[in-house]
Structure 1
């Protein structure tokens, strides 16, 4: 009886607590965040429909959807001349074709990850829809990755396509037959292919004609690709709690091959040559710009007719596409108009480059401020000449009267001195190496604002301080040397500086004269050289062979140092402590620089490799590191460190939320920010990376 009463009491208490909680006022919880992407509920026509006769596809989803960046992400293959109209409304996405559909053709609408739900932005990954206008639907597919050849950046949003026309000219004359676009990791899949033999291309299609132009980025595979299907089995084992085999399941799988295509994208740097710009840069400079590397343009003066034979100094880049002609003839400098016959390299309609000729008038354009200054200078000169004439008349009168003209002579001399000082000027020389602390790898360098005519090397002295008694002693130098044949404003003192050295460079006044006979003011430059104890070194043992060089890079991927591989080893000494990265170039032609490919010659770009992440090249003071580098050990798409990668995969909103929920901090610094795993099950099978694919499975 007591037990029954106790039961009644407990039930009453529970009911009371329930009623109290129901009466409490509070905010309802929103529940867990939705990470589920939209799901297809139905479509018209159905996926895989054959003998399709319409011109519109409608796809319904289980929630309201939007299309993200559809112009770049949604691809219809075969490509249409007039782009289909693609739009979303509520839970429906509609694709309406504006061109007649080809007969007996399988069509693919590849949405990539453009479809997302309207509320949370969850994306439906790798979604595609296919139908056929014939009796059957094609099902083969190929996949791979596109990387920029020069620096292994994943190429995002570029067109990848196939051609069954195997003629070399097809890439430049016939639109690609089946196309897709790369995703944010540079990966691609071309679906619904017929059995056959194909050439594969990638293209940054600037003119949207699906054919290669020489000014576009492109990539090609030398061999013929044959899509095929491979079937294989796998086994999964279920164990009991005591680790005995319970059940063995056998799975049957289908794999579409090849799924490991690697396309190295490059730009030929081809530019048709044409005259880009001519301009007079003030009184003493003429500018001529051509669209690309060329021989220096030739200028023949037509007027003024009277001028010196050697009337200019040429300043140019190594490519000669931008040339400045410094005038040295005073008659040309004074002339407001200079007419020339201009001869330059120009590419004709047939693609052949030949010398072209134009007549150009270089007219001096005077700004309002310059006109005002010239007017003031003319007025000042006129007043000065009046004062001199007046003083000369006074002097003549004094001499005629037998009086002493000394005071008048002094006044006239003062005016002439002022006029001379105004006309005479110096030109600037500035030390190009910034700061007073130099690295042991630095050289003494100067920049001038006007071309140099003469250097008196005896008036330039370099002294070094004795560390014991702090006295100065002279150091023998090769003197100031011009940096290059046309780099006429940059000079160096090519000599080795001693570590911990304290130097003083003295340049006497008038040691350097410009082409206009201006001279420098006296100057003194004091600087020190860093101690060897503040540096480190890196030694890399590479399996590339010696026909290669390594570029040491900083955190912004700027080249810090370059060295050739010698007997399988490359060494970098005297490195400032920092985090470095390394890029190796297989220098096939031995010219010391990376070279692009050439489709017309079936020439692939030179191969590039990165010292792979997560290994680090971190230099510390008085410390060195020695590493072995197997350039094939890590698949190519995983080699470049994420920290210097520019084309990083897009961080999707749902991934960021999941990361925050799992770690409590969406900004947590993980080594692999994007959880990279490499592309494909056997990426790059059949090339140099095959032996290392077991590390990727």
Structure 2
């Protein structure tokens, strides 16, 4: 008996030693799940069911699939996603439309259960008719102002219609761009379409012109079985109609707030006093209670945005009555450009921005001194005001070697509210050319088209300088990295004009120099930077 027990014990020990134990540690699983079967199979025809299954080589989970799964053509056939171990099941509410090729692009919506590795390039194509459509359109989407690729832009093929408005109509076929801005719309019907790209920030497949950018091809796109390659450049174009959002009445002023930025405002007062007014910001038109009014003032106002959309309306302007102690107006402030932290050239070019319209300016109370001793004569100084008398451009020819000092006495500027800025002094150092770089270049322009060139910071956010001739030169550039672009100014208005899908108007073309310019001190760069195409 003891011998039998010993044999059983030995057998149990050997059995336990032979059992497989999961290894500890080791490399992390980075292998994505692989599709091993689907119903229907890829490129299947005559599919008449409303349930789709996909089976993988390991357990999977879905991740926000209803937002990530792109089904084209666009369909209102809702579905419910389910997961059972290695299988994903899509139960659609109804069968698919007859004689149509469908493409299901899953993005990264299906991942393995263990490490959440997404299935790669997961796409299923099937047809409900006897054939699989073979049309394909591909290309790239970039930002027009930077020429940089745009990731996750919506690119759509729209059925032809005289009343097509992407604000209300979704694309029939669509795709999303990858990190290189590339897109591909495949298995489409061989037909004619309109091709439009959107940033589609809210993911609703519709165009929101206030917040989203758009690009479109002017001509009808003829989709064939051979590939069609298109380059689209996104631009922002806020075509929403101007309107008043609210009014801000106060004792000393009355402000209209608009829903978008305005380029200009014109006011006609009806048989009443002409109040002072200004576009205090692109969205705010301010009227000053000068001369002081207690009655309602009626005015006809026309505002115009950068796209040429106008709003003309009659407005009653009523200031709040004075209650209690008289409220003092806010003091007038002033801002100088460039700031005094920047060195300047001896040929002074200064902008003074004031917070209120200026009623009186005494130029004799503004003095300019070069190198602490030489006073610049008035005849060598020029002053130019904007329409609202809120921006003064000052130019002065000096022979300064070290510094320029501008002194503004109190009382030099008297605002419409009868106050003045305090005495103010600006001191600028004169730059030393050896500390800066120079960019020289030429533009090949066989058709003689109008243009201007912008030198920008490396992120395309700020314009450093601008020229409009060839050959051109940018002088006294601080060492650093810069970008450069040429804007075709065909309407010769001195600025870039965006496009307008409603008017089928493309934006003015922009040529972006392909690489950064690395500027060093005491160094000149010269090249044929741009070639302008013929019209």
On whether the aligned pair clears a TM of 0.5, the verdict is: yes
The reply to whether residue 618 of structure 1 matches residue 518 of structure 2 is yes
- How far apart, in 1, do the equivalents of 2:120 and 2:25 lie? 26
The reply to whether residue 106 of structure 1 matches residue 97 of structure 2 is no
The reply to whether residue 131 of structure 1 matches residue 126 of structure 2 is yes
How many residue pairs end up in the alignment? 504
- How far apart, in 2, do the equivalents of 1:516 and 1:539 lie? 48
The reply to whether residue 265 of structure 1 matches residue 168 of structure 2 is no
Partner of 1:508: 409
> Does structure 1 conserve the Cα–Cα contact (< 8 Å) formed by 2:173 and 2:185?
yes
> Does structure 2 conserve the Cα–Cα contact (< 8 Å) formed by 1:549 and 1:585?
yes
The reply to whether residue 572 of structure 1 matches residue 477 of structure 2 is no
SS in 1 for 2:42: coil
Tell me by how many angstroms 1:446 deviates: 3.2
Q: CA deviation digits over 1:110-163, x for unaligned, max 9?
A: 123433334444333332111222222223322112223233243333332224
In the superposition, the TM-score normalised over structure 1's length comes to 0.63
In the superposition, the TM-score normalised over structure 2's length comes to 0.80
Partner of 2:216: 220
Q: How does 1:618-637 map to 2 (within 5 A)?
A: 618-629=518-529
- How far apart, in 2, do the equivalents of 1:65 and 1:500 lie? 73
- How far apart, in 1, do the equivalents of 2:194 and 2:175 lie? 14
Change in CA separation of 1:96 and 1:160 when aligned onto 2, cut-off 3 Å: farther
SS in 2 for 1:363: coil
SS in 2 for 1:287: strand
Partner of 1:559: 463
* From 290, 313, 316, the counterpart of 1:328: 290
Tell me by how many angstroms 1:287 deviates: 0.8
Tell me by how many angstroms 1:499 deviates: 5.9
SS in 1 for 2:192: coil
* From 244, 264, 273, the counterpart of 1:309: 273
Structure 2: gaps spanning 5 or more residues? 1-16
The reply to whether residue 291 of structure 1 matches residue 259 of structure 2 is yes
Tell me by how many angstroms 1:77 deviates: 0.9
Partner of 1:595: 497
SS in 2 for 1:145: strand
Partner of 1:201: 196
* From 513, 517, 526, the counterpart of 2:418: 517
- How far apart, in 2, do the equivalents of 1:476 and 1:359 lie? 44
> Does structure 2 conserve the Cα–Cα contact (< 8 Å) formed by 1:578 and 1:618?
yes
Tell which structure's C-alpha radius of gyration is larger: 1
Tell me by how many angstroms 1:324 deviates: 1.3
Partner of 2:247: 278
- How far apart, in 1, do the equivalents of 2:422 and 2:317 lie? 38
The reply to whether residue 451 of structure 1 matches residue 357 of structure 2 is yes
Tell me by how many angstroms 1:193 deviates: 1.7
- How far apart, in 2, do the equivalents of 1:364 and 1:184 lie? 59
SS in 2 for 1:495: strand
Change in CA separation of 1:120 and 1:497 when aligned onto 2, cut-off 3 Å: farther
Change in CA separation of 1:533 and 1:120 when aligned onto 2, cut-off 3 Å: same
- How far apart, in 1, do the equivalents of 2:424 and 2:397 lie? 22
- How far apart, in 2, do the equivalents of 1:526 and 1:565 lie? 32
Partner of 1:438: 343
Partner of 2:139: 144
> Does structure 1 conserve the Cα–Cα contact (< 8 Å) formed by 2:361 and 2:413?
yes
- How far apart, in 2, do the equivalents of 1:146 and 1:514 lie? 50
Q: How does 1:175-194 map to 2 (within 5 A)?
A: 175-194=170-189
Change in CA separation of 1:612 and 1:498 when aligned onto 2, cut-off 3 Å: farther
Change in CA separation of 1:225 and 1:454 when aligned onto 2, cut-off 3 Å: closer
Q: CA deviation digits over 1:324-353, x for unaligned, max 9?
A: 1122223x3xx5xx6343534599xxx996
> Does structure 2 conserve the Cα–Cα contact (< 8 Å) formed by 1:42 and 1:59?
yes
Please tell me the root mean square deviation across aligned C-alpha atoms, in Å. 3.8
Change in CA separation of 1:555 and 1:265 when aligned onto 2, cut-off 3 Å: closer
- How far apart, in 1, do the equivalents of 2:169 and 2:102 lie? 19
* From 355, 364, 369, the counterpart of 1:463: 369
> Does structure 2 conserve the Cα–Cα contact (< 8 Å) formed by 1:140 and 1:195?
yes
Tell me by how many angstroms 1:532 deviates: 2.0
Change in CA separation of 1:504 and 1:346 when aligned onto 2, cut-off 3 Å: closer
Q: How does 1:232-243 map to 2 (within 5 A)?
A: none
Deviates more, 1:511-520 or 1:186-195: 511-520
> Does structure 1 conserve the Cα–Cα contact (< 8 Å) formed by 2:370 and 2:399?
no
Partner of 2:11: none
Partner of 1:549: 452
SS in 2 for 1:112: coil
Deviates more, 1:170-179 or 1:128-137: 170-179
Tell me by how many angstroms 1:288 deviates: 1.2
Change in CA separation of 1:116 and 1:498 when aligned onto 2, cut-off 3 Å: farther
- How far apart, in 1, do the equivalents of 2:375 and 2:156 lie? 70
Structure 1: gaps spanning 5 or more residues? 1-21, 230-255, 303-307, 379-422, 633-686, 689-697
- How far apart, in 1, do the equivalents of 2:165 and 2:336 lie? 52
Change in CA separation of 1:90 and 1:631 when aligned onto 2, cut-off 3 Å: farther
- How far apart, in 2, do the equivalents of 1:132 and 1:110 lie? 15
Tell me by how many angstroms 1:461 deviates: 1.8
> Does structure 2 conserve the Cα–Cα contact (< 8 Å) formed by 1:577 and 1:620?
yes
Point out the structure with the larger helix share. Answer: 1
Change in CA separation of 1:257 and 1:433 when aligned onto 2, cut-off 3 Å: closer
